[in-house]
Amino acid sequence: MTTKCWLLAGVVLGGLGIDPAGAETLESVLATAYNSNPTLIASRAQLRATDEAVPQALANWRPTVTVTGDVGRGTYYNNGNGSFPWTQTRDPRDYSLVLSQPLFRGGRTVAATEQAEATVLATRAQLEGTEQSVLLSAATAFFNVVRDEAVVKLNINNEQVLRRQLDATRERFRVGEITRTDVSQAEARLAQAVADRVNAEGNLQVSRAGFIDVVGRAPESPQPPAAAAEVPALFDEVKATTLAKNPNIVSADWVARAAKDGIDLVFGELLPTVAVTGTVGRTIEQSLIHSDTSTTQAMLTVSVPIYEAGISYSRVRAQKQTWAQRLIQADQARRDALQTASQAWETLAAARARVKSYTSQIGANELALAGVEEEAKVGSRTVLDTLNAEQELFVSRVNLVAARHDEMVAAFQVKSALGQMTAQALALPVEIYDPRQHYDDVRHQWIGTGVDKVPGYQE
């Protein structure tokens, strides 16, 4: 938008009583949504849960240690075929410590680890997409409130103008300057203005409810930024950046990579496994004869699958089809992202053109209204002519407010397609959530069940 357009729009809003002093900014609203939106916080928790798949896969490299113990008591009776019956009491006890170390699992540990890491990266991209969606929704809700507050004020102002017009018309009718028809026309316009104002107030309440849903609190005199967000000047640049950085595309590519690793994971079921098992045990039996036996042994176990009814072969084939499916879905994600970017780009261009046109229209309508009012004073214009001129100016002002709203929202939609609708890219005054911190904390964690305090979690 040109500087002239923005100055004119500012004059319009300023004349409606919208004071920038003390009003909250878009930046503060986005920061609040980033820190408190439940959908975004839940997505972070989902990513942290996904991080745990990596240490779970790495656990297959590690040994397992098991301690078992049996303690019992038994009484055995033998009637001796009626000649020499006897009774024996036994107190068996058995303890063992078993350590098992896998050496080779058919490549499944490596494949599972790579699949888990790819899934983590896909989920990180999904989290970025959720962050963009939440911030875009917050920005849209912000501009919806700005638009609807301005429209309400325009409607109130229009109603007041028409009410004064009706009073003047009735006075002129009383002195015989105009007819009853002119009064009826003024009354009809005022009734329409009242209906429009009530409808605008209802739309404002709907927008406020949407704002509360995303941001978590009611808006407090939101003040729009001085200009729409900056976007690339050429669509070719938008297209290239979208294909490289759109989080939906990035996520789909990593999901496909995880599916490919799944092929090696399932195929490992057809390969041999090797493990070392060490056992230390002791068996004690207290009866007529005391027995105390200790055992220490180490065993190398090799297992070679020969035929498993074709189940593993079928699972390999199914996983290959899944990989093909994920590749196709990644291609669709590229198409969807480009379509979204193109739509936002064209919407932005159309909104900018509308802003310029409505700005020119307002200037022309203001001059026309002034001329009609002067001509009406000398009787060359009717009351209806004045009402029509006032209505045209009112409609052009409402249209300018709507066009400014559409331009602001479309600019952020373009940034979202570019992958730039994030707290870091927007330089919001918040502590940026780092998904790598939790991943690094748990990747090589061998023991422990504790987690950091997070919203929604209770011990």
76 within some domain: no
Supply the Cα-derived Rg of the chain in whole angstroms: 38
Residue 305 lies in a domain: no
Q: Where is 258: in which H helix or E strand?
A: helix 247-267
What's the token pair of residue 359?
Answer: 């700005």
pLDDT confidence of residue 149:
95
**CA angle at residue 240 from 234 to 243, to 5 degrees?**
140
DSSP E strands: which ranges in 327-455?
A: none
SS3 assignment, position 130: helix
pTM for the predicted model, two decimal places: 0.87
Q: pLDDT at position 455, please?
A: 65
- Tokens representing residue 446 in the block: 């061998």
Q: Is 371 among the domain residues? A: yes
Residues 330, 331, 335, CA angle at the centre, nearest 5°? 115
DSSP state of 81: G
Distance CA 35, CA 32 (A): 5
**Is 230:31 a contact under the CB 8 Å cutoff?**
no
219 is written with which tokens?
A: 């808006």
| Residue 160 tokens, joined | 């007041």
| 7 to 226, 334, 375, 436: CA distances (angstroms) | 9, 39, 30, 45
- The DSSP call for residue 332 is H
Contact call for residues 161 and 15 (beta carbons, < 8 A): no
In a domain, 84, yes or no: no
Bridge-based pairing state of the strands 86-104 and 74-78: antiparallel
Largest CA distance in the chain: 144
The domain total for the chain is: 1
CATH number at residue 408: 1.20.1600.10
Tokens found for residue 439: 């991943």
Residue 364 lies in a domain: yes
* Per-residue pLDDT at 22: 60
Closest CA to 251 of 46, 113, 110, 31: 46
Inside any domain, residue 70: no
Whether residue 281 is contained in a domain is answered as no
- Does any domain span residue 137? yes
Contact in structure between 25 and 32 (CB atoms under 8 Å): no
Residues 6+ away with beta carbon under 8 Å from 181: none
The pLDDT tens digits along the chain (459 residues) read 444 444 444 444 444 444 455 678 999 999 999 999 999 999 999 999 999 999 999 999 999 999 998 887 777 766 666 666 767 677 778 889 999 999 999 999 999 999 999 999 999 999 999 999 999 999 999 999 999 999 999 999 999 999 998 999 999 899 888 889 999 999 999 999 999 999 999 999 999 999 999 999 999 989 989 888 999 999 999 999 999 999 999 999 999 999 999 999 999 999 999 999 999 998 887 766 677 788 899 999 999 999 989 999 999 999 999 999 999 999 999 999 999 999 999 999 999 999 999 999 999 999 999 999 889 888 888 889 889 999 999 999 999 999 999 999 999 999 999 999 999 999 999 999 999 999 999 998 888 888 877 666 655
Q: What is the DSSP string of 72-124?
A: --EEEEE-GGGTS-EEEEEEEEEEEEEEEEEEE-TTHHHHHHHHHHHHHHHHH
Tell me phi and psi for residue 286, to 5 degrees.
Answer: -105, 110
Cα 390-396-397 angle, rounded to 5 deg: 90
SS3 of residue 146 by DSSP = helix
| Containing structural domain, residue 328 | 3-64+106-270+311-427+436-443
Is residue 290 a contact partner of residue 367, using CB atoms and an 8 Å limit? no
How far is it, in rounded angstroms, from Cα 245 to Cα 236? 14
